[in-house]
């Protein structure tokens, strides 16, 4: 059933150019779903003006939790850190670069509230990056769904129930991968196809080498979590 307030968890890394627009668009989108927003921003030592912009926004919005990492932890660890502040609320996790369209949030929330699912993914459709990266992403997700029961195209834009968020945070897995952990712990997963936007400003912080290293780390996280479950 609908809740009065929803947490919006956003890992931030060199996203100063989109934060103000994201803040307003998310508020408008969640209001259309009949709820209010509690933002959780985790600024991951990006070194741009994101911190100053977030502090300025917090001066006019009391429903904001700001977490500033003293050193870069990476997107997934930033998400794990933010989930610990969800306080039992339903949580929307999304990128800060506006490639995840805020206008899709009401559809994700409505599907969560209308079903018994623990999580609803925005599965990515459309061409939103180079052909090489699109091909690599497709291959990566094909391998991912062979390890855990995730919908095809599942990524980092997802809404999950507060109880599931608490289970993910409680895991003692030394690695963290949001989609993979959801696949290991969720009781019921739904999906809605959402056309992902092209990046409005800046460029991806991930080099090809970083993308490969991240994929391998994500697979290790999932295998570790599944092994832990199989032995408990």
Pairwise CA distance, residues 53 & 38, whole Å: 17
- The model's confidence at residue 139, banded by pLDDT at 50, 70 and 90, is confident
pTM exceeds cut of 0.85: yes
pLDDT digits (tens, 9 = 90+) for 72-90: 999 999 999 999 999 889 9
Which residues are registered as beta bridge partners of 179?
A: none
Pairwise CA distance, residues 129 & 133, whole Å: 6
Q: 31 CB contacts (<8 Å, ≥6 apart)? A: 37
User: Quick one: pLDDT at residue 190?
Assistant: 97
* pLDDT of residue 150 exceeding 70: yes
> In the chain, how many domains are there?
1
Domain that holds residue 117: 5-230
What is the DSSP secondary structure assignment for residue 129, as one 8-state letter?
Answer: S
Pairwise CA distance, residues 35 & 27, whole Å: 9
């Amino acid at each position: 059933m609908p809740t009065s307030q929803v947490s919006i968890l956003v890992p931030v890394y060199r996203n100063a150019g989109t934060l103000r627009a994201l803040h307003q668009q998310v508020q408008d989108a969640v209001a259309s779903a009949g709820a209010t927003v509690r933002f959780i921003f985790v600024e991951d030592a990006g070194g741009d003006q994101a911190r100053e912009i977030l502090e300025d926004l917090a001066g006019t919005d009391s429903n904001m939790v700001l977490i500033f990492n003293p050193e870069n932890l990476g997107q997934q660890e930033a998400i794990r850190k933010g989930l610990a502040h969800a306080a039992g609320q339903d949580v929307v996790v999304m990128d800060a670069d506006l490639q995840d369209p805020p206008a899709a949030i009401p559809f994700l929330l409505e599907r969560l509230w209308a079903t018994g699912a623990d999580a609803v993914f925005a599965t990515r459709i459309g061409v939103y990056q180079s052909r090489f990266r699109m091909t690599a992403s497709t291959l990566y997700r094909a391998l991912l769904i062979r390890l855990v029961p995730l919908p095809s195209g599942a990524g980092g834009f997802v809404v999950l129930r507060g109880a599931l968020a608490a289970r993910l945070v409680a895991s003692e897995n030394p690695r963290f991968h949001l989609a993979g952990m959801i696949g290991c712990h969720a009781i019921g997963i739904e999906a809605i196809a959402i056309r992902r936007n092209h990046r409005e400003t800046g460029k991806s912080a991930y080099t090809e080498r970083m993308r490969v290293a991240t994929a391998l780390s994500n697979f290790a996280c999932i295998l570790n979590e599944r092994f832990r479950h199989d032995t408990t």
